[in-house]
Structure 1
Amino acid sequence: NNPRWGAVGYRFFRGRPINPYIVPGGELVEVVAKNFPPSVEIVDTLRKSGWSESDISRWFYTYPSYFHAEEYDNNALPLAQRDPSNTNARYLQQDTVNYGWLDSVSYQFRIHVVDSMPRFLWNHRSTGASAFANAGMWKGDTTIVLDPTTTDPDAYDKATRTYLDTLRMFNTTSRVARRFVPAPQATPNNILDEVYNNPAGSQNDTLNIHFVANVTDSLRFRADINTDDEFEDLAAIDENRAVVKRLGAWDFRYGRTSYGFLSTSIRETPADTSLETIIQARPSWMASRFLRKYEAAGTADQFAQDFTTRGRLEVRIGRDLANELLQPINDYDPGRPFNDDRNTDTVMTVVVNDGHGGINTLTRRLFVNFQPSLLDATLADAIEDEDYNTQLIDSARRIKVYDPNFGQTQAFELIYASESRDSIQIDPYFAEAGFIKFDDSRKTTPNWLKINPTSGILYGTPRVTDVPYPDTTVRVTVLVTDAGGLRDIRTYNLTIRAKNHNPTLLQSPIIRCVEAGKPYTDTIRVTDVDLRRTQAGNEELTFEVTEPSGSWKFSPEKLASPIADTQRVAISTDNLQGNIVDGRIRIVVIVTDRQGAKDTLTYSVAVSDETRFSATVRVENNLGAFQNLTFGVGGSTIATRGDEATSFGKLDSNYCEYELPPVPYIDVFDARWTIPTRNGTIRNIHPFSNSAGQSIYQGRFQAGGETGQSSNYYPVRLTWCKDQIPAKDANNPGSYYIRDDQSNGQLFDFNMKTGTGKSIPSVQKRDGVNSECDTLLINITSIEGFVIVYDFTSPVNEEETASTFAITGVAPNPFAGTTTISFNVASAAKVGVDIYDAVGTRVATVANEVFAAGKHSVQWDGTMNGVALASGTYTVRISDGTNTATQQVVVIR
C-alpha cells in the first residue's frame, strides 16, 4: 500500500497443507509488487471511460515537463485512426523504466504449519449417543477436498460439481479381525460371543478389536495399518492429481511417514555403561525373517519395506515351525506343553512417525486361531430300530475335536449324499490354504444319522430302508467349523447291526361261503418291514397251506424287497375239499421269510350246500362303495324263499344265508336282499321248481349321502356277468330278468342272460369288456331297489296268458289315490290279495275270495282299515295256497 499516491492492492493465497509438504522451521514466502509503464492505449481507454485527468495521474506517473516532448508519434490522432503497430509510450523515458525506488516493492514472511500427530484409521461408524471420539484415530473411508475454493478446471469439474483434487483415505478390508460382544439371550451359557469380520468385507472396529493369525497348513497373518499421514504422503506422488501433473511428484525432502514396532530398552544395571537390551513389542512369529510382500506371500520382504513404508504386514510360517514358536514352556516336562497347549494370545504395538517428529502408537491384541482337528475314533455300533444315543448325553457317541483355542465354540455338520456344495474353503480368509472337496468319497453319511451342531453328539435311529441284512458298515463324514471359520473334515466307519423282523399274517379274510368241491379264491394280507429294504431280494416271503390238503396257489408266488411292507396275496384252489365242521372248513396258511422266521394264520370258510347255480350282482355307488349280492337256486337240499306261508321269514343257513345288522343310517351306503321279518342277507338262494310261475329276489340299496340319495353318490351301478346266469334249457326251464322294484319293469327290464330289454333314459345299460358282464347305470334317485324275476314260463316281453298264476300289472305305480292290481288265475281257486310293508307286516287285505280261471283286477286305495298309509314301498302278494306272486308298489303322499 502507498498512502501518498492512494494506491492499494492485495494478493489472496489459498491451499491446504498436508504431511509431506511440512517444512521444519517454517517456510519463507516473499511477495513482490512491481510497477509497470502505462501505454497509450491504457490512458486513452481510461479517458474514454470517463476518468478525469487527475484520477489517471494518480495511478500513472507523469514525468516532469523538462522532457523535450510530452507526446510521441501519432498521439494527437483520434484513437480510431492510429496505427495499432505504433505502441510508443508517451510521458516515458525508455532508459528509466524498471529503475528507481518507485519501480517495485516486496514483503517477506514465514508460514509455520503446526504439525498434528499421525492418526490411525479405524472403521468405527456409530453416531449419536453411541458415538465415540478418539483423538488418536481418524474414522476411516474418508474423502477430503484439498482445495474447496479452486476454480481450476484441472481440479474442479463444473458440470458434475465434483472436486478432482481430493485426498481419499480408505481403511483396509483385508485383515482378519475378531471382537467379543455380549451373547444373546438365546445362549445364556456364553458370556461373550466371538465375532469375526466377514471375509468379503471389513468389520466395524472397537478399541479392543483383535488382529488374528490363522493356522492351517501354515500360519498366515495379514494386516494393513493405516494413518492419515500415510495417505497424505501417497497423495503427493499421485500422478492422477492435477497438481502432481503440473509440478511433478514430491521428493519428500523434509521426511516421510514410516512405521515400526515399539522398542523398549532394558538396562539391568542403571549405572552400567554396557549396551542395553532392546525388546520390540511384537511376537516372535512376527519377526522380520517371516515377513512377506503384502498380498504376494511368495516373495520375502527382507527389510520389511512394506511394513515400514505402508504399515502392511504379511506373515507366512509353516505349521510345524509355527507350533514350535507358539509352544509354551513346561518346566516339568520341557518340550511337552500341558494338554498340547499353545500361546495363542499376545499383543503388538505399532509406532508411526510422520517424518517431522509427530509420533503415535497403536496397541492391539493378537490372537492365533488354530484350525480345529477332528480326532480319530471308533464309533460304537448302531442297532437297527434303536436310537443311537437314547439319552443324548453318551459322550462315547460324540465326535471329538482338538483345538488349542480352548473355550472356542465349534459347529458340527454331517455331509450327506444330497450335499449341494462341491467344495468349501479351509480358511475363508486365505484361499491359498486350500479347499475341502465334497466328492463321492465324502458324501456318504446315511440320512438317518444326525449330529448336534454344538456338542458333536450323534443321534438318530436306523431303519430297514437304511441298512441291508445282515450287518453293514457305513461311512460318516463330519465337517467342523470353528468360530473363526477354519474347517476340518474326517470320515468315520460306523457298523450297523441289522435286525430280522418276523413276518405277520394279518387278520383273517371275511368269512365267505363257498360250495365244497368248487373253486375258492380269497385275499390275505401279510406285513414284514424287511420288505422295505432297498436291496433287491434282501428279504423274501414264501407261502404254503398245511390244511386242508390240495392244490393251492398264491399270487404272487413270493414277495421280495424292495416293496411296501404290507402286501395283499391272493390264495386259491380249483377244488375246495376238507373236513367240514359246523358247516365250515379250516384253512391254515404259513408264511416264511428268508431267515426262516414264520407266522401262521388259521381261518375258516363257510361251506354251502351245493347249488344248481349262483350268481353275483355288484351294487356300487358313484364314490366306489360296493356290495356283492349273491343269488341262486338250491340243489338237492331244502331251500326256501322266505315269503311262503310255511317259511315266512326263514333263512337257509345250509346255503349261508345269514341275517345282516339293521340297515344303517341313510348317509351310509348299503345294499342287501330283503326277506320278510328279517334285516336282510348277502346271499339269497331260492328252491328249484319245474312248476310254472315266478320266483322273485328283492334287493334294496341306499346310495348314501346326507339325504340318503344324494345326487353326487349317483349313478348307482348294478353289474352282473352273463356267464354266471344259466341258459334256459330242460334243466333250467326259466329265464332271469332284472327289473326296477317300483313298476314291475316299467323303468327298466333286462334279460340277464341275453342282455336284451328296455329302460327309461335315466337308466342306461352298458356292456362289459367282451360283453361278458353288463352294467346298469341308475341316475334317478327315486329308485331304491331292484328285483330279479325267475320266470318259469315266458320271456320278459311276451304277454301274460290266463294259464299263468301271476300279477300282470299294478297301475298307476307310483300312485297317490287308487291303483289297479291286475293278475291271472290258471284255474279256479280262492285267491288272497294282500299288501305288506317293507318289514314284512301285512297292512291290508284287498281280496280274499274265489276267482275263476282267467284275468282279474282289484283296486286298492292305499289305506289300512280306512287309514291312509304313509309314503313308501309296499309289496302286493297274491296266493292261492300253492302258488304265490308278488310285485312292489309305491305310495306317494
Structure 2
Amino acid sequence: KFNILNKDTLRGFETYFTQLSFAPDPIQILVWTDAGGKPQDIVVGSHAQTSRMYGNLTGAERYVRIQYNNPIELQPGTYWAAIAQLGETGLELGGKASRMGMRTINLSITPDYILGTAGNPLNLDKNFRVKNSLGEYVNSNYFLYENVLFSGSWVQFTPPIGNPGYPHLDHVGMVRYINPNDPSTQTFSTGSWIPMHRPYFGPREYGMDKDAYQWCSDDVPIELSYFNAEIRKGAVDIMWETASETNNLGFYIEKRDITSNINQNWDELNFVTGKGTTTIKQRYNYVDKDLVLNHTYEYRLRQVDKDGLQSCSTTDPVRVTYIGNDKVILMPNSPNPFNGSTRISFILANKQHVNLEVIDVFGNVVKTIANADLEPSSYDYYWEGNDENGNFAPSGTYIYRLTSGSDILTGKMTLVR
C-alpha cells in the first residue's frame, strides 16, 4: 500500500528478484485503488505483463525496474501496488525481515495450546501500526497477498489476531524477556516479511537548487575520489574512482542534454555494477556514443546500495560539448577587416583554463580578453580595438591567440582606423 499526497506520474515498479527462481513465467504488475484497507478497482492503464529472463528481468539479488510504456497519472489517494507470477512456479521476491518483527501478547502457554489462538501480534515498527477507536495500538497492514490472481481473497501479512503471513518464526517464537517481579509474563516474538516491491515515480529533484550538488547522508556507502567526463575519439568517456565501498550495488549514470534547456530532466543512461564491500581503490568507466554534434551534455552518478535503502546523487554534474573530437576549435574572427569591434569565437569540448589574448606582430600582448576556467560550451568574445589601458590601438595586423591546456591556436585580423 502507498499513499500519494499530490498528483504524480507512476512510471513503473522496482522489484527485488532473487536467484531461487528464473522460471520464464509471465509476470503481471498492476495498481488497485483502496477501499477500507483492501484493493478495490484496477487503475486504468496499470495492468502490464512481462516475464523473467526478458530485458532487465534477467537480474537477480538486486532491484530491477519494470517500466510502463505509457506512464500513469495518479491523483492523491491510497493505492495498492501488486505483482503476480502466473504459473506453478512460486514468485521469488526479496523479503526484508528487520522491520517486520512483532511481539506476541496474550498468548496461552499451557501445554495443550493451539498455535494461532489467543495471540495478538503487534508490529514493533511504529510506522506499521495505528491506534484504534479505543486508543489501542493495532497493526496497520501495508502488505496483502492472494493465492490466485483476481480472486479477491486478500489476506493480511500481519493481522491483529492470529498467525502472520509467511512468518519467519512460529506463533510462540522465542522467549525474549521474563520480568523477575512477574515470572508468569513472557514476551514472545514472531514476524513477517516486507516484500521488496515498490512504485517508481522517476528521479526526484526538489528545491530551488535541484540541479546543484545533491548531498547524500553521512552514511553514504562509498568514498568517491574522482569523477569526470571527456570527449575522446567521437564519444564521451565517463570515468570515476572510489577509495572504498560498503555494500555497494552500483551506480546509475544519469545524463541530460542542456543545449536548449538548462533545466532539462535527467535520464538514466546505464547501470554499472559496484564492487560490494572493499577498501581497495576501484576505477570505473563508461563510454557514451549516443551524441549529437555541437550539443552540450551533463552527466552525474547516483549510487545504490544492495538492500535499496540508500540511493542518492554522489557527484556534481560534469559538462561536455560534443564537437566530434577532443580538440579546441577556434573560429575566424568576424568581421575581418574591422574598424569598430570584432567577434572571436571558440568551442571547448572539456572544462579547461582558457587564456585569450590579442598580440601585435612583434609578439607584445596588446589586450587580454579572457583568462578564466570555462565549462564545455561555445563562447563569443569581442575586441573593441583598444589596449589594456583603454587606448585605441593603431591600424594594422594583429594576432588573436587562444591558449587552452596544451593547445595554442591563433588567428590573424586587420584593424582599420
TM-score interval (norm. to shorter): 0.3 to 0.5
Higher helix share: 1
> Which has the higher Rg, Structure 1 or Structure 2?
1
Higher relative contact order (CA 8 A, sep 6+): 2
Q: Which has the higher strand share?
A: 2
